[in-house]
Chains A and B, each alone.
Chain A
């Protein structure tokens, strides 16, 4: 098991390097750079920044060097924990993204947790009471959840929160809690702000999980060993929970690896809509202002998170399903 994990981790390095090159190329593609952007912004706010001034700044911040050199300087900083410099924020990239990456991860994990906690029982319920009123109702809800994009849900939540319940829905804390010291009240406040977005984020995946769980369990329930178990007079709850669900859950674990990209993407979009301190808002802004290193580093970390997520899903599957051999 350990050699498997180590091997997978090592295999990530070339993949990440490839990703970093691709990222850099994509960010290089649009014409101009941060300084030419700045020239337009400064120009509209009362002073003129001519070509010479732009070139001067490009020189100072090394933007005049060829792309290859800039890429190598950027990527060679990674082992030292130096991810480059954000021109927009005038701060090292490392200082900017730490907390936000953590928050994105936290939101995704909470969301994943909620997804599973909700989807499993519903899936089991639907499978065991196939075509009942409850099953049909939940199936309908599931299809709704699958088809409504999360940003729409977020907008509805915003509207309802502000205009109906009159509560603070934006950000991570209420304004009076934001600068307070950590306390149980503050944690509760954060939970209040974090759980609704986590649910919104998880709705799509939840619906998917319900469908998979229902299908998988239905298939298992028709198998002979279940009939045998029933014939032996085992209690129905034991038959379902101990023997059927145990096997039916495997596809869910494999799906988890595929759901992670969706969650992380969703967290970016949701962060924009609900002004959460995830990397979403920062990322979009960095792309718009051509803040190259910031955007590149975030893309790279997002890819890393994906790869780690997939690895975790693989390991979890191996652990849950004894039929799988890692070697």
Chain B
């Protein structure tokens, strides 16, 4: 009804302008959409026109667009903006203020292997992570969703009129194409990702209409909303296959199933890649100029982007993104120091923070210290499923022994050796602004107290040997441990310190460093006694809970128990005790779609993992320097960056802008 009224008013205005210009007056015709202009003369309202001669010209459309697009749409090369933003565009509330169009956002990246550099700016999933991690998950491409009462079926309602960046309609067929021809195609995806499989059965999809789809699972799927906000992103179809939909109309021509002229999947892999400029996307910017090895990747605004601000301006504000290819973090820093970066959060090292700070005035930027959602920058995992030496495994499984090890770490010294005293001593895998944070275990067993360590070692039955230096195992052999790591630089110094303090309490420790290539298969293959890594995902640990309990082969507190869990008992070793309990708890977490219940179970798991000392944490939450030009706005000064949240993707980069 409103629409009709609009049309009538517009017609009036147009006819009025005709009449006026006929009278020889200087009248500017309004930029009315073409349909209105052509139908106007046919309408018998000419007589009423003079009745309202002071009527101001109405704006032609509900939404406005960037000048570069307005030109194209005026020239008839693009449909009007109202048709492009979809019928139900998503309204973005600004962090600071409503923005202005224009500008090029310059930053640096390290090539396709650094795909996060591009992918996180173009984070555009089906559902969306909130800006505040304590908030519930937000609508994205889907405007709403509902679970069936038994939690087995999820219905997603998408925005009507969504379009791919090439103007083709986006429909749920794009999800079905991804599910049937990518995710379930063994040549492209080895096995469907665990989140789409419940009780060993892959989900089934039911198309209700072009904009409504039902995901049906064998049992309640408590993870699916998180996964739609996380994997829902379309990047990178790359080797990781993280998508949850794909442009069927474009990709079918390269898919051997639809194009029999094509024999293998090599071309499909290339064409499906996020960095292929031809591939349509749903993201604020799409790659417009890039081929492998180019010094610059240029992405331009997507004319069909489906988000608007409070003034009805179509997003994004910024015209283009320019990623300059550099070799390493040092080169990124050099770019920042020569003022060639407008805003960047990745690849800037903490140790260069003072340098960036010195350049603030010269380059006209601010350097923010964003918090890292990092449980610990240096974690050690005593391997409780270590199989090569059963006696040692029993020792590693002894909670008192792990507590002793924790007391024998001088975290304060580690913080100053390796992290410029910027880290926080802590023992919890999640950070304080996570919904799952349990304040009372934040600092459990984190004091450096060799005396207590000795007490706990005695309690664990590991008596000091006759030489007074090395403790003896129950089988009479000296207690010897090996830490293996692929860390380099200051982290190795920190580990060396741990070796010293452990030796001092009678646990003979050796440190073995190697490159990641050699380390990874050993650690995931259950061959390492104590593994070292840094942990992230401190805001939302349950998307990929590898650091909380034995979830899969990457859970180095017990890789083989993790494999057992992942393969539902087909491979690996069956866990016992608290570790088995934790796995059962996570089963419950997955089996409920009630957020309150998930929160309760999640906190219980976090608490258990700290109390049982499955991970020896040192210091965490080291800040990440973030360089932001003074006129680059809508970037908050305080923010916790987590990669699961696609930081800074959940801040809506589409509404970042250059203030004039």
Q: Which residues of B contact A38 (CB under 8 A)?
A: 239
Which residue from A57, A175, A277 sits with its C-beta under 8 Å from B106?
A175
- State A147–B270 Cα separation when bound (angstroms): 47
Interface: A184 (CB within 8 A)? no
Q: Scoring A residues 271 to 296 as 1 if CB is less than 8 Å from chain B, else 0, what string do you get?
A: 01001010001101100011000000
Interface: A162 (CB within 8 A)? yes
B112 touches A89 (CB 8 A): yes
Known: A90-B112, A91-B292, A100-B293. A47 touches B193 (CB 8 A): yes
Interface: B391 (CB within 8 A)? no
Q: Which residues of A contact B265 (CB under 8 A)?
A: 60
Q: Which residues of A contact B187 (CB under 8 A)?
A: 60
Interface: A316 (CB within 8 A)? no
Q: Scoring B residues 311 to 343 as 1 if CB is less than 8 Å from chain A, else 0, what string do you get?
A: 000000000001010110001001101101000
B518 touches A275 (CB 8 A): no
Q: Scoring A residues 48 to 64 as 1 if CB is less than 8 Å from chain B, else 0, what string do you get?
A: 11101100110011000
Known: A170-B338, A275-B331. A48 touches B298 (CB 8 A): no
| Shortest Cβ distance from residue A32 to the other chain B in the assembled complex, whole angstroms | 5
Please report which residues of chain B, range 529-565, place their CB below 8 angstroms from some CB of chain A when the two chains form the complex.
Answer: 533, 537, 543-544, 546, 552-554
Number of residues on chain A facing chain B (CB within 8 A): 58
B292 touches A56 (CB 8 A): no
B111 touches A89 (CB 8 A): yes
Interface: B278 (CB within 8 A)? no
B239 touches A42 (CB 8 A): yes
Interface: B521 (CB within 8 A)? yes
Interface: B414 (CB within 8 A)? no
For chain B, the bracket of interface size reads: 35 or more
A47 touches B293 (CB 8 A): no
Minimum CB distance partner of B533 in chain A: A44
Known: A281-B327, A285-B327. A36 touches B524 (CB 8 A): no
| Shortest Cβ distance from residue A61 to the other chain B in the assembled complex, whole angstroms | 8
Interface: B451 (CB within 8 A)? no
| Shortest Cβ distance from residue A295 to the other chain B in the assembled complex, whole angstroms | 14
- State A38–B334 Cα separation when bound (angstroms): 28
B327 touches A46 (CB 8 A): no
- State A37–B113 Cα separation when bound (angstroms): 11
| Shortest Cβ distance from residue A308 to the other chain B in the assembled complex, whole angstroms | 23
Please report which residues of chain B, range 252-272, place their CB below 8 angstroms from some CB of chain A when the two chains form the complex.
Answer: 264-266, 269-270
B362 touches A179 (CB 8 A): no
- State A152–B296 Cα separation when bound (angstroms): 27
Best-surrounded residue of B230, B266, B524, B566 (most CB of chain A within 10 A): B524
B517 touches A178 (CB 8 A): no
Best-surrounded residue of A158, A175, A178 (most CB of chain B within 10 A): A175
A89 touches B292 (CB 8 A): yes
Q: Scoring A residues 254 to 286 as 1 if CB is less than 8 Å from chain B, else 0, what string do you get?
A: 000000000000000000100101000110110
Minimum CB distance partner of B241 in chain A: A47
Binding site for A on B (CB under 8 A): 106, 111-113, 116, 186-187, 190-191, 193, 230, 239-240, 242, 264-266, 269-270, 273, 289, 291-293, 295-296, 298, 322, 324, 326-327, 331, 334-335, 337-338, 340, 362, 516-521, 524, 533, 537, 543-544, 546, 552-554, 566, 643-644
Sample (25) of A-B pairs whose CB atoms are under 8 Å apart: A31-B518, A32-B517, A36-B520, A41-B113, A42-B239, A43-B554, A45-B643, A46-B230, A46-B643, A47-B242, A48-B554, A50-B553, A60-B266, A90-B269, A91-B291, A96-B292, A96-B293, A97-B293, A166-B362, A170-B340, A175-B106, A275-B326, A281-B327, A282-B293, A284-B327
Identify the 5 closest CB pairs spanning chains A and B, nearest first: A91-B292, A40-B520, A89-B292, A53-B190, A281-B327
